[in-house]
């Protein structure tokens, strides 16, 4: 291997991107790919995957081809590269013919470092011919989990990417994803013929994200309380399951003084991309969206990601929450979850068209998700364990900060199971709970359920408590919700030992939904970045300058500089270009473009 390679890689990192050192495995990956090796890179969202192919593309002869599934985001990716002085372009269907011809010429003559293409474009004869006639530095396959047929982002076009290996056997390929489970990893290696590629698996921990999962009461109201008390004017994402709920939630937030925009696949394309672009370009906007939103969104200063509905799997949940705090600053992942979520998700699996094997996979994924929601121990330990990583209590999740109280729930669960049995397993949650609590509803009288031995045996608990117990019984697999029209509750085989007293059940104590309080101890990263009053003023001033500059250049604000960089400038108060050069995120090109203006702002304010 070329001995000067790692020195040249580091030099590019510092002078072009303005970062002092590689993070985690970045350095090894860059060297491996730059020397011509294939790689499969698993790194969490925000881990820094882009540099892993951008720097090798600069180090190698020819143009680096980046396969990316989302044409809507290519413009921002190219803008960001051009800002640091890297020659980049994209080829996609939004361009005119003349523009396409121009880019193709640049690719052929090697006057460009990186070109972004969507997989369906890459597979066209025209594009393959172009790359045949050009010198290719590498192929980077971003969001590589899209090849996984059982995954949450399946894209059939991705499967055809295996031909790259056959057609360009001497060009190194690097596949990258933030989805880490074994099955997806194996599928990527198999389908992209990356069996011999070196695998780089990073830690999936995102220590700056604080995870919390609360019991759902009035979900929307809880969401509003959470945002107003913890994230006043921050940018964030709120995920909902249905299009209708997206619209309603966005309206609700707007009525309550929070600037929210909807995003879902049912909206027309122009409206959808306009909202996406506002979210990326403006500050403090809350995007309320279905999971159609978010892949490839590189906005680094998303401060919170909320879920108003239960996600289907931990992979999906982790990827969605990972969109918060990419800049390394503190961020929140917040979810409200309740009995109805469990019922709904189970029913969706039962009613889906999938075959039995697939349903079993879906069901196992849901069980793991429920286990995370109901856990009595650290959320992060559970999350990382799911990705095969061992860790200790994190101190930055709800269960670490306010440990939940557990209790021996055997007796109440027995009461619940007996009641389900006594009403012949033909009634839904509401009715079963009414019987338990001894409420004399019309329906109870009609069915003479007030004469059952179980009538009123649970009168000591409130309805919400019984819902929490039932939810956990479902999560534990003791009760299922039938997919008949009534959603009636049924006992499983696992219920028998509990009813007989042969198995005890540990439950999480129901906690009344409380108003979210701002965490009293900011996490470590935050404390380090805490600004004094005068520094805060500089930071605000720099943000205004950034907004104006971004508008003038017609790019997203974060592409000029991230919040983390502006904060560092506000703390360091550089009085010369030389001092500014040392700040993380300030490379040579940006120093030339903006250095004088920034130093002038600092001088003016001190």
Q: Is 219 in the site for ligand ADP (CB under 6 A)?
A: no
Stretch near Zn ion under the rule CB under 5 A, chosen from 118-126, 238-246, 391-399, 527-535? 391-399
Per-residue x/- marks for ligand ADP, 570-589, CB under 6 A?
Answer: --------------x-----
Q: Is 294 in the site for ligand ADP (CB under 6 A)?
A: no
Beta strand 88-91 pairing with 209-215:
unpaired
Instruction: Tell me which of Zn ion, ligand ADP, none is bound by residue 400, counting a contact when its beta carbon lies within the kind-specific cut-off of 5 to 8 angstroms.
Output: Zn ion
Tokens standing for 163?
A: 């031909």
Alpha-carbon Rg for the chain in angstroms: 27
Q: Is 47 in the site for ligand ADP (CB under 6 A)?
A: yes
Q: Which of 22, 131, 427, 510 binds ligand ADP (CB under 6 A)?
A: 22
Per-residue x/- marks for Zn ion, 351-390, CB under 5 A?
Answer: ---------------------------x-x----------
Stretch near ligand ADP under the rule CB under 6 A, chosen from 47-55, 145-153, 540-548, 592-600? 47-55
Stretch near ligand ADP under the rule CB under 6 A, chosen from 40-48, 356-364, 454-462, 570-578? 40-48
Minimum distance from residue 177 beta carbon to ligand ADP (Å): 9
Instruction: Tell me which of ligand ADP, Zn ion, none is bound by residue 64, counting a contact when its beta carbon lies within the kind-specific cut-off of 5 to 8 angstroms.
Output: none
Contact of 110 with 147, CB cutoff 8 Å: no
Minimum distance from residue 25 beta carbon to ligand ADP (Å): 11
- What does the alpha-carbon distance between residue 157 and residue 122 come to, in Å, rounded to a whole number? 10
Beta strand 406-408 pairing with 506-508:
antiparallel
- What does the alpha-carbon distance between residue 148 and residue 221 come to, in Å, rounded to a whole number? 37
Minimum distance from residue 391 beta carbon to Zn ion (Å): 9
Tokens standing for 519?
A: 């965490």
- What does the alpha-carbon distance between residue 63 and residue 58 come to, in Å, rounded to a whole number? 8
Minimum distance from residue 104 beta carbon to ligand ADP (Å): 27
Question: Closest residue to ligand ADP, Cβ-based?
Answer: 48
Per-residue x/- marks for ligand ADP, 307-326, CB under 6 A?
Answer: -------------------x
Q: DSSP letter for 171, please.
A: S
Q: Which of 5, 15, 23, 228 binds ligand ADP (CB under 6 A)?
A: 23
- What does the alpha-carbon distance between residue 254 and residue 275 come to, in Å, rounded to a whole number? 14
Residues that contact ligand ADP, how many (by CB under 6 A)? 18
**184 vs 523, which CB is nearer to Zn ion?**
523
Contact of 507 with 413, CB cutoff 8 Å: yes
**Percent of the chain that is helix, strand, coil (3-state, to 5):** 50, 15, 40
Q: Is 567 in the site for Zn ion (CB under 5 A)?
A: no
Instruction: Tell me which of Zn ion, ligand ADP, none is bound by residue 378, counting a contact when its beta carbon lies within the kind-specific cut-off of 5 to 8 angstroms.
Output: Zn ion
Burial of residue 528 (CB within 10 Å: 0-12, 13-18, 19+) is exposed
Minimum distance from residue 209 beta carbon to Zn ion (Å): 11
Q: Is 43 in the site for ligand ADP (CB under 6 A)?
A: yes
Question: Three-class SS of residue 115?
Answer: strand
Half-sphere exposure of 569 (CA within 13 A, CB side): 33
- What does the alpha-carbon distance between residue 296 and residue 143 come to, in Å, rounded to a whole number? 8
Closest CA to 136 of 157, 156, 122: 122
Tokens standing for 164?
A: 């790259």
Q: Which of 331, 333, 394, 474 binds Zn ion (CB under 5 A)?
A: 394
Q: Is 26 in the site for ligand ADP (CB under 6 A)?
A: yes
Instruction: Tell me which of Zn ion, ligand ADP, none is bound by residue 202, counting a contact when its beta carbon lies within the kind-specific cut-off of 5 to 8 angstroms.
Output: none
Contact of 471 with 338, CB cutoff 8 Å: yes
The tokens 């460009």 sit on which residue? 112
Instruction: Tell me which of Zn ion, ligand ADP, none is bound by residue 276, counting a contact when its beta carbon lies within the kind-specific cut-off of 5 to 8 angstroms.
Output: none
Q: Is 546 in the site for ligand ADP (CB under 6 A)?
A: no
* Rounded to 5°, angle at Cα 123 from 35 and 39: 25
Q: DSSP letter for 405, please.
A: P
Minimum distance from residue 379 beta carbon to Zn ion (Å): 5
- What does the alpha-carbon distance between residue 73 and residue 71 come to, in Å, rounded to a whole number? 5
Instruction: Tell me which of ligand ADP, Zn ion, none is bound by residue 380, counting a contact when its beta carbon lies within the kind-specific cut-off of 5 to 8 angstroms.
Output: Zn ion
Question: Three-class SS of residue 579?
Answer: helix
Q: Is 179 in the site for ligand ADP (CB under 6 A)?
A: no
Residues ≥6 apart with Cβ < 8 Å to 104: 91, 130
Question: Three-class SS of residue 118?
Answer: coil
Stretch near ligand ADP under the rule CB under 6 A, chosen from 20-28, 245-253, 305-313, 413-421? 20-28
Residues that contact Zn ion, how many (by CB under 5 A)? 5
Stretch near ligand ADP under the rule CB under 6 A, chosen from 30-38, 45-53, 57-65, 232-240? 45-53
Stretch near Zn ion under the rule CB under 5 A, chosen from 72-80, 233-241, 399-407, 409-417? 399-407
Burial of residue 56 (CB within 10 Å: 0-12, 13-18, 19+) is buried
Provide the binding-site residues for ligand ADP, judged by CB under 6 A.
19, 22-23, 26, 43, 45-51, 298, 300, 326-327, 562, 584
Provide the binding-site residues for Zn ion, judged by CB under 5 A.
378, 380, 394, 397, 400
């Amino acid at each position: 291997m070329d001995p000067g390679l790692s020195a040249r890689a580091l030099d590019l990192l510092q002078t072009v991107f303005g970062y002092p050192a590689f993070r985690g495995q970045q350095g090894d990956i860059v060297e491996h790919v730059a020397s011509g090796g294939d790689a499969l890179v698993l790194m969490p969202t925000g881990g820094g995957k882009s540099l892993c192919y951008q720097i090798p593309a600069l180090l190698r002869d020819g143009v680096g081809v980046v396969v990316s599934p989302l044409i809507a985001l290519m413009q921002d990716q190219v803008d960001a590269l051009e800002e640091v002085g890297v020659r980049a372009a994209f080829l996609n269907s939004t361009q005119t013919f003349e523009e396409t011809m121009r880019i193709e010429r640049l690719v052929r003559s090697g006057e460009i470092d990186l070109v972004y293409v969507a997989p369906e474009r890459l597979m066209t004869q025209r594009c393959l011919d172009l790359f045949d006639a050009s010198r290719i530095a590498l192929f980077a396959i971003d969001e590589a989990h899209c090849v996984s047929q059982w995954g949450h982002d399946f894209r059939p076009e991705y499967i055809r990417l295996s031909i790259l290996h056959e057609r360009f056997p001497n060009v190194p390929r690097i596949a990258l994803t933030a989805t880490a489970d074994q099955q997806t990893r194996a599928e990527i290696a198999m389908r992209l013929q990356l069996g011999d590629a070196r695998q780089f698996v990073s830690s999936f921990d995102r220590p700056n994200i604080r995870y919390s999962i609360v019991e759902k009461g009035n979900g929307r109201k809880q969401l509003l309380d959470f945002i107003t008390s913890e994230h006043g004017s921050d940018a964030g994402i709120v995920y909902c399951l249905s299009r209708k709920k997206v619209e309603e939630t966005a309206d609700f937030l707007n009525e309550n003084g929070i600037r929210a925009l909807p995003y879902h696949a049912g909206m027309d394309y122009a409206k959808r991309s306009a909202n996406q672009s506002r979210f990326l370009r403006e500050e403090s906007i809350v995007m309320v969206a279905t999971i159609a939103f978010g892949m490839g969104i590189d906005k680094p200063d998303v401060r919170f990601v909320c879920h108003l509905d239960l996600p289907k799997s931990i992979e999906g949940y982790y990827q969605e929450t990972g969109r918060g705090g990419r800049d390394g600053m503190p961020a929140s992942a917040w979810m409200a979850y309740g009995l109805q979520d469990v019922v709904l998700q189970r029913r969706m699996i039962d009613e889906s068209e999938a075959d039995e094997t697939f349903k079993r996979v879906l069901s196992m994924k849901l069980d793991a998700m429920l286990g995370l929601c109901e856990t009595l121990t650290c959320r992060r330990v559970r999350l990382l364990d799911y990705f095969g990583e061992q860790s200790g209590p994190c101190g930055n999740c709800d269960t670490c900060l306010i440990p939940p109280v557990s209790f021996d729930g055997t007796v109440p669960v027995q009461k619940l199971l007996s009641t389900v049995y006594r009403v012949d397993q033909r009634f839904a949650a509401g009715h079963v709970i009414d019987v338990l609590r001894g409420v004399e509803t019309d329906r109870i009288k009609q069915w003479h359920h007030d004469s059952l031995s179980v009538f009123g045996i649970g009168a000591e608990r409130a309805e919400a408590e019984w819902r929490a117990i039932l939810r956990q019984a479902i999560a534990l697999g003791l009760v299922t919700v039938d997919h008949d029209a009534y959603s009636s509750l049924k006992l499983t085989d696992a219920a028998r030992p509990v009813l007989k007293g042969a198995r005890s059940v540990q439950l999480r104590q129901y906690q009344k939904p409380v108003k979210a309080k701002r965490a009293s101890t900011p996490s470590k990263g935050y404390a380090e970045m805490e600004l004094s009053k005068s520094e805060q003023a500089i930071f605000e001033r720099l943000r205004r300058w950034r907004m104006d500059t971004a508008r003038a250049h017609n790019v997203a604000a974060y592409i000029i500089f991230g919040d983390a960089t502006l904060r560092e400038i506000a703390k360091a108060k550089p009085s010369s270009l030389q001092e500014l050069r040392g700040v993380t995120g300030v490379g040579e090109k940006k120093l030339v473009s903006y250095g004088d203006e920034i130093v002038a702002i600092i001088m003016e304010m001190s």
